Amino acid sequence: MYAVEFSHRSGRDLINMAKTRPNIIPIIEDARHPLKYRMLVGMVDVVFADVAQPDQARIIALNSHYFLKNGGHYVISVKANCIDSTVPAEAVFAKERQKLAEEGLKPQEQLTLEPYERDHCTIVGTLCTAATWDALRRCRGCRSFVLPQL
């Protein structure tokens, strides 16, 4: 498992934890720039993101396009208040699903984390195949975004 952490303090904790868990490879780098650590990371089955940033859909899309195997899945934790605290959480979740789809990621399931965490959800999906991605690019102008069934 590769773990990317930007914060030096949390990175230090990650490195210390990885000393007792040899299956974790800590990478202290900004996940917004996967080219900086591409030589350390191979193709993976799952990409997980819990970054709490307004551009988190773009961040997971970049990393998924670089590192996710065909047939692999992504999991993203969405915190509505970190993206836009002025609109209802459901609207933020829908917008994030739309962004993921526009980036070539096919959302398959969304789970809210209520009652454990307020205004949080997890979205699980797959990387679009080349055929789906071509259809996606042609459909970008559509108001309602529908991915074709393959």
pLDDT level of residue 9 (50, 70, 90 thresholds): very high
**Quick check: is 36 in a domain?**
no
Q: Can you read off the two tokens belonging to residue 48?
A: 């997980």
Higher pLDDT: 18 or 138? It is: 18
pLDDT value at 135 more than 70:
no
Q: Across-strand partners of 25?
A: 2
**51 and 97 share a domain?**
yes
Q: What number of other Cβ atoms are within 10 A of residue 8's Cβ?
A: 8
Cα four-point dihedral sign 133, 103, 145, 114: positive
**109 and 82 share a domain?**
yes
**25 and 47 share a domain?**
no
**Quick check: is 35 in a domain?**
no
**Quick check: is 149 in a domain?**
no
**77 and 120 share a domain?**
yes
**62 and 118 share a domain?**
yes
Distance CA 75, CA 77 (A): 7
**50 and 89 share a domain?**
yes
What's the Cα-to-Cα distance from 47 to each of 38, 88, 108, rounded to whole Å?
Answer: 14, 27, 15
**CATH label of the domain that carries residue 113:** 3.40.50.150
Q: Across-strand partners of 105?
A: 127
Residue 18's domain comprises: 1-30
**65 and 128 share a domain?**
yes
Q: Can you give the pLDDT at residue 92?
A: 94
**3 and 60 share a domain?**
no
This prediction has a pTM of: 0.80
pLDDT level of residue 52 (50, 70, 90 thresholds): confident
Distance CA 136, CA 142 (A): 10
**Quick check: is 128 in a domain?**
yes
Q: Is 119 left (phi over 0), alpha (psi -120 to 50) or beta?
A: left
**Quick check: is 105 in a domain?**
yes
Residue 62's H or E segment, with its range, is helix 56-67
* SS3 of residue 71 by DSSP: strand
In the chain, pLDDT over 90 holds for what percent of residues? Answer: 74
Count the domains in the chain: 2
**7 and 71 share a domain?**
no
